[in-house]
Structure 1
Amino acid sequence: MLSYYLLKAASKICCLLPRGACETIGRALGAFAWIFVPKRRKKLAKDQIMMCLGVGEQEAERLAKASSVRFGPMFMEVLRFPVIRKHIADYVRIEGLDKLERGLALGKGCIIAAAHSGNWELMGGAFAQAGIPLVGVAMKQKSTGADRFINEYRTLIGMHITYKTGVREMFAMLQKGWAIGLIMDQDTNRRSGIVLDFFGKPTNCVPGAASMARFQGVPIFPAFMHRDEHGFHTLIVQDPVFVEKTKDKREDIRRTTQVLTKCIEDHVRRYPEEWFWLHDRWKSMREEY
């Protein structure tokens, strides 16, 4: 549990420092960490960027580095959650919050479909601080201390946290009118995924959002974060996506998941420096073929 206490100590220090100082430290940490990213992982990110965006090698290298370095400021913002939650309007502006509020007013809950773009941790906090009853679906960290810390801070900023294995709890909270936040842009195993088009390539995608929304008859709201050069975030809530319920359940889920996947692709094309390019997005497809 040493990592937990180290993170808590770092958080206390960061909360005492000015915002600008933390931004500078975060960028320095991100740049330093980039040095230790394995060459094969850097090449993977560069190759994926070239394949998806059609840019040259030099631009791909710049984007790969930028998408990694940004984790420094993002980490510092998480450490500063005790401060940020008290002044959330100084950090995040939400566009389209009324769409989400109207969806929740129906009393059946909703799904928020997000991606590893921008500060997704702060996204959940921004929704919670705006009065949205949000369930953040988390992946358990390998480090027990880090897992305890991040879930404590997610709760601190207003989210209710459940692990990906807590499907029953998700449905129970959905029935109570909560919004379920699902990040759906990473590779999964071929048994659990569905192959769709992403950047013009057959890609294994997560169908959970469409599957859950179809079963409960609730809307899905694609939502993404963007961080400008001054460190201010814009959280954009897009129009709701509804799952058509026909006799062909598999096709209903496939069609809706493709719509959501296209929303993610469009956002990544707009803000390529903010997506998690170091993730091996096509791993399961290579393993199969």
Structure 2
Amino acid sequence: MECAAVSAPVSSHPPPSQINTSPEGKKPPEHLRRIIGEPPGPIVALLTRGVWALLTALSPAARDALARFVGNLAYTLGIRRKVALDNLAQAMPEKSEAERRAIARGAYITMARVVVESLPAGDRMTPDWDKQGIEGEEAWAALKAHVATGKGVLLATAHFGNWELVGQMLIRFGVPLNALVRPLKGALNTRIAENRLGAGAGLIYPKGAIQEITDAVNRGESAFMLLDQALPAKAAVFVPFFGRLASTTPAMAVAAERTGAPVFVVMGVRPPGPGARFRLEVEGPIPAPKPGEFADPITEHTARVTAALERAIRRHPEQWLWLHRRWKVQPPAALVTAPSPGLTSGPAPESAPKV
């Protein structure tokens, strides 16, 4: 799965008529409300409709219990467990083996929760979804102020917490957005795409994505992008992530250069306890390099945004998807021996959340 002034106060619930709709009834353009990919066959579609109905009928507490069972079972069976533990051993060598195993188990539960919470119809969040608070209030205020000008922003996130529902939360908070996605196949991905559209998000696919983002920003819509997936080397830039160079899409930085839109990192941190509720952690705007400051400003800007993602993941490592082979694409040998200057995690800016 991919990948997401505020018109209502953060502490208020939207009226029922606004649930799963974009602010003020605004919808993305028709061409962004389509699903591209391979739908399930008729038999699979029939069978999965029953599963979706069952998940919809379950209470939030029952969904959470189911997700914890599935996540623990997958970890116990060892499905991609070696990948997760290898990733953690290299990314967090300071942790003990027991600590890394606990983080890995938490990552499995996080993944199961994302699936179980993202598939039901109707309202998928708890009634107190907007009562969890926001870390990084200055950054959030800057984001809202820019949206109030009628221009969109660029929002980076990761496979963390529940990125699907964080996108829905942003829409409810008055930030119209479009999610950058890839054409995918199967009943699971089709259902998630349907629910994205039902929440009021538009879908931007890779072909012509930069122009679509530019148009969206000018319409006052924001782009919501996952920046923590490995890309083929020819389509990627390589930036530090937990001490290793990782292939990363440059699309966010290219779009920022093209549009001049500010970039914010938005993560949804799940507090203890059952239910789909999240505290937003916001950092930004994350500045692009000044003209002439770096030979490769796109890579440098990507590195700065990726560093912000890493800071959030380090605070809550069990909520990130360690099962993904993030470093599977190797950087060119020349880059390993002589990395570009300026690519560093660096200190968090003043607008970063304090924890």
Residue 213 of structure 1 corresponds to 256
Give matches, 1:106-185, under 5 Å: 106-143=149-186, 145-167=187-209, 168-185=211-228
2:69 is equivalent to residue 12 of structure 1 = no
**In percent, how many aligned pairs have the same letter?**
26
The DSSP-based 3-state class of the residue aligned with 1:283 is coil
2:106 is equivalent to residue 66 of structure 1 = yes
The 2-side partners of 1:250 and 1:189 are apart by 22
Pair 1:29–1:258, CA change in 2 (3 A): same
The 2-side partners of 1:280 and 1:146 are apart by 21
State the superposition RMSD in angstroms. Answer: 2.5
Pair 1:147–1:130, CA change in 2 (3 A): same
Cα offset for 1:264? 1.0
Greater helix content: 1
Residue 129 of structure 2 corresponds to 89
Residues 15-61 of structure 1: per-residue CA shift (max 9 Å, x gap): 322221111112112222334554xx322211110111112323222
Cα offset for 1:250? 5.5
Residues 188-235 of structure 1: per-residue CA shift (max 9 Å, x gap): 111121122222222222221111101111100111111122133112
Residues 53-77 of structure 1: per-residue CA shift (max 9 Å, x gap): 1123232222222201222222221
The 2-side partners of 1:201 and 1:153 are apart by 35
Pair 1:177–1:258, CA change in 2 (3 A): same
Cα offset for 1:261? 1.1
Instruction: Work out whether residues 4 and 149 of structure 1, in 8 Å CA contact, stay in contact via their aligned partners in 2.
Output: no
2:89 is equivalent to residue 46 of structure 1 = no
Pair 1:249–1:286, CA change in 2 (3 A): closer
Amino acid at match of 1:181: F
The 1-side partners of 2:89 and 2:237 are apart by 24
Amino acid at match of 1:67: A
Instruction: Work out whether residues 26 and 73 of structure 1, in 8 Å CA contact, stay in contact via their aligned partners in 2.
Output: yes
User: Greater shift after overlay, 56-65 or 116-125?
Assistant: 56-65
The 2-side partners of 1:239 and 1:248 are apart by 20
Cα offset for 1:179? 0.5
Amino acid at match of 1:182: M
Instruction: Work out whether residues 230 and 328 of structure 2, in 8 Å CA contact, stay in contact via their aligned partners in 1.
Output: yes
Cα offset for 1:164? 2.9
2:247 alignment partner, one of 204, 214, 217: 204
Amino acid at match of 1:77: E
User: Greater shift after overlay, 26-35 or 90-99?
Assistant: 90-99
* Structure 1 spans left out of the alignment, 5+ residues: none
Instruction: Work out whether residues 92 and 126 of structure 1, in 8 Å CA contact, stay in contact via their aligned partners in 2.
Output: no
Residues 142-177 of structure 1: per-residue CA shift (max 9 Å, x gap): 32x333211111111221122233413232212212
The DSSP-based 3-state class of the residue aligned with 1:104 is helix
Instruction: Work out whether residues 70 and 274 of structure 1, in 8 Å CA contact, stay in contact via their aligned partners in 2.
Output: yes
Instruction: Work out whether residues 10 and 79 of structure 1, in 8 Å CA contact, stay in contact via their aligned partners in 2.
Output: no
2:266 alignment partner, one of 196, 199, 223: 223
User: Greater shift after overlay, 257-266 or 10-19?
Assistant: 10-19
Residue 312 of structure 2 corresponds to 267
Residue 283 of structure 1 corresponds to 328
Instruction: Work out whether residues 85 and 129 of structure 1, in 8 Å CA contact, stay in contact via their aligned partners in 2.
Output: no
TM-score of the superposition, structure 2-length normalised? 0.73
